Amino acid sequence: MPDQPRRLFLSMVSDEFRSYRELLCSDLERGRVDITTQEKFANLGATTLEKLDDYMEKCDAVIHLVGDGLGHVPPAAAVDALLDRHRDFLETLAKHTGLTREILGTCSYTQWEAYLAIFHHVRLHIYRPNPKAPREPDFIPNAADKALQEAHFQRIRDLGRDRDVFLNQERLSSFVLADLNDILPARTGDTADVSVSKLTHAARELIGREPWLAQLDEAWADEACHVAILKAWGGIGKTALTAAWRAEREYKGWREARRVFDWSFYSQGTRDVDGGESAVSADAFIAKALEFFGDSDPTAGSPWDRGERLARLVAAEKSLLILDGIEPLQHPPGPMAGHLTDPALAALLLGLAGRNPGLCIVTTREHVTDLDGHHTVSEWELDHLTDAAGAAVLHAQGVTHAGAAEIGPDDAELRTASREVEGHALTLTLMGKYLALACDGDIRRRDTFALAEADPEWVTRFDPTSPYGHAFKVIAAYERWFLDAKAERSEAERRQGRLQLAILRLLGLFNRPASSACLTALREAPAIEGLTEALVDLPPRDWAIALSRLEAEALVKRDPPHGAEPALDAHPLVREYFAKQL
């Protein structure tokens, strides 16, 4: 017998959330999914509760929005009929919600939908709008309905899967698609032409960036926004944010995008080899992008001509173009700070600023001076994580204790730890993994980093002008831990630590992903003094184990993740730390 279709119920007040429901129906629509709303029932008469009851009993999940609007309240006769149908309904719900017959008499159909889901043991996903989330133009809230909705939420918040608040229609859709991923069939029929992504430094779970995801949603929907620039220091989370938003677009069928292409300039290196200012170029990107967008001869013309041509091709139809980490192609601080050094890239971005029906997202550490004065360009300074978000990051990495006591993701000591590193995302991730690995997930043992020694300028012993003191101190803690020769550590553990540290130091030689061939050559005899002694003649199995452990600690990444000869990469700050020791 073929699988039964998935039955989903969208529970919300139409006057408040009509556009949200329409987008959800579109995003959830796929083969063998039955989506139902209250409006599909013929009337709001005495039989509506019975119809809801019949459907809920066989439902797979209920998406329940608790906003400010109450909606229609069923007549008393319908309530009595339902309670007569299920004699244990009120008793069962009262155990968990404190419901009484009197309260039920004030409950709307939408609220009843949640109670029926609870009664029938159906998955209940609860979502609330941010106060600033847009509502339907004709929706007018009132204080009495808001109070009844708040009381309803307090009754059910611990009985469903509470996903907290959403900021707009797209954010709600992303929540719902992620939460139903385990029961939804795969989406089919997407028509976008998509390149293989090069955004390798993506986070497994993005925390604390909902407002920024919402801004990217709005930029995509805004025809007046042609280029969106995310500016921040390294390790703040620019790439993770962009990769997460791109992944959401993919899961939603790319919306109206006809072509999708991304490029990471971190893979070209964040510094040139001989110290000059012109060694890094966009040539490889321009050639690949021209080929992808259908240019007949990607090598023809000057760099400026190729950039102009690419801009016209990108703008020929609605496209999503992501350029990650363009700062190697910008002038460093000084009289020319922020200006693009590559004419092809400058021509591309200026062309897209002039005309682009889609969106180009740029991430960088520097202001893009060339685009000053273009009203179609939005540049946002990505902020550090809040104390609460940073605490949640630490907890998600396994920091779940304060001494012997278990703690939650909103614990005060976790928030303090986040504040100590000023919410630097990479630092928090590395710190969390380190504490989980080496300190039994105890936040009170974070003093092993000596973070208090970092002054407000984040000065480090390697570079007094560096803004990455906290991140470097966490990497230094890993370095000390790898070298730790305590008696309780076995010789095998100490050897594994030395191997892992040797690999990280080796990556300091590279300003881009290290190819398998280069790494193999460097591991051959004779050893390079002070660098490769631990790696020469290393059995392949030991090499693979060391790489797997470094990957688990988020210190390196294989690219591609599977295959016989992957390149080995690390976050630019990890490479920079060990490069300073060479």
What single string gives the DSSP state of each residue in 432-465? Answer: HHHHHHHSTTBGGGGGGG-GGGS-TT---SS-TT
pLDDT at 492: 80
353-386 pLDDT, tens digit per residue, is 999 999 999 999 889 999 999 999 999 999 989 9
Which strands make up the sheet holding 33-37, listed edge to edge? 33-37, 6-11, 61-65, 123-129, 161-166
pLDDT at 160: 81
Using the predicted structure, report yes or no on whether residue 181 has a pLDDT greater than 80: yes
Is the separation of the CB atoms in 295 and 232 below 8 Å?
no
- More reliable by pLDDT, 127 or 473: 127
| Radius of gyration of the CA atoms of the chain, in A | 28
DSSP code, position 126:
E
| Amino acid identity, position 440 | D
Q: Which of 168-172, 330-334, 472-476, 560-564 has the lowest mean pLDDT?
A: 560-564
Which strands make up the sheet holding 377-381, listed edge to edge? 193-194, 259-264, 319-324, 359-364, 227-231, 377-381
Is the separation of the CB atoms in 12 and 21 below 8 Å?
yes
Q: What is the mean predicted confidence (pLDDT) over 148-167?
A: 89
pLDDT at 280: 67
Q: Which two tokens stand for residue 223?
A: 């025809």
Using the predicted structure, report yes or no on whether residue 229 has a pLDDT greater than 50: yes
Per-residue pLDDT band at 488 (split at 50, 70, 90):
low
pLDDT at 274: 41
Residues 6+ apart with CB under 8 A from 52: 38, 41, 109, 112, 113, 116
CA dihedral (306, 310, 313, 317) in degrees, to 10, reads: -170
Residues 6+ apart with CB under 8 A from 349: 227, 311, 340, 360, 362, 368, 370, 371
Q: Which two tokens stand for residue 445?
A: 């043992």
| Percent of the chain at pLDDT exceeding 70 | 90
State CA 60 to chain mean position distance: 27
- More reliable by pLDDT, 492 or 121: 121
pLDDT at 462: 40
Taking the whole predicted model, whether its pTM rises above 0.85 is answered as: no
The fold of the 6-179 domain, in CATH, is: Rossmann fold (3.40.50)
12-30 pLDDT, tens digit per residue, is 999 999 999 999 999 998 8
- More reliable by pLDDT, 549 or 257: 257
User: Which range has the top average pLDDT, 287-301, 331-345, 414-428, 472-486?
Assistant: 287-301
pLDDT at 220: 98
Using the predicted structure, report yes or no on whether residue 453 has a pLDDT greater than 70: no
pLDDT at 564: 61
Is the separation of the CB atoms in 551 and 436 below 8 Å?
no
Which CATH homologous superfamily contains domain 193-381?
P-loop containing nucleotide triphosphate hydrolases (3.40.50.300)
pLDDT at 464: 45
pLDDT at 416: 95
Q: Which of 11-20, 32-41, 117-126, 461-470 has the lowest mean pLDDT?
A: 461-470
User: Average pLDDT of the chain?
Assistant: 87
DSSP code, position 314:
H
Using the predicted structure, report yes or no on whether residue 154 has a pLDDT greater than 60: yes
Using the predicted structure, report yes or no on whether residue 309 has a pLDDT greater than 90: yes
Q: Do domains 6-179 and 193-381 have the same CATH topology?
A: yes
Residue ranges per structural domain of the chain: 6-179, 193-381, 398-579
Using the predicted structure, report yes or no on whether residue 299 has a pLDDT greater than 80: yes
Helices (H), ranges, 157-236 = 169-179, 210-221
Residues 6+ apart with CB under 8 A from 253: 27, 187, 189, 190, 192
532-541 pLDDT, tens digit per residue, is 998 998 998 9
Q: What is the mean predicted confidence (pLDDT) over 235-253?
A: 92
Per-residue pLDDT band at 450 (split at 50, 70, 90):
low
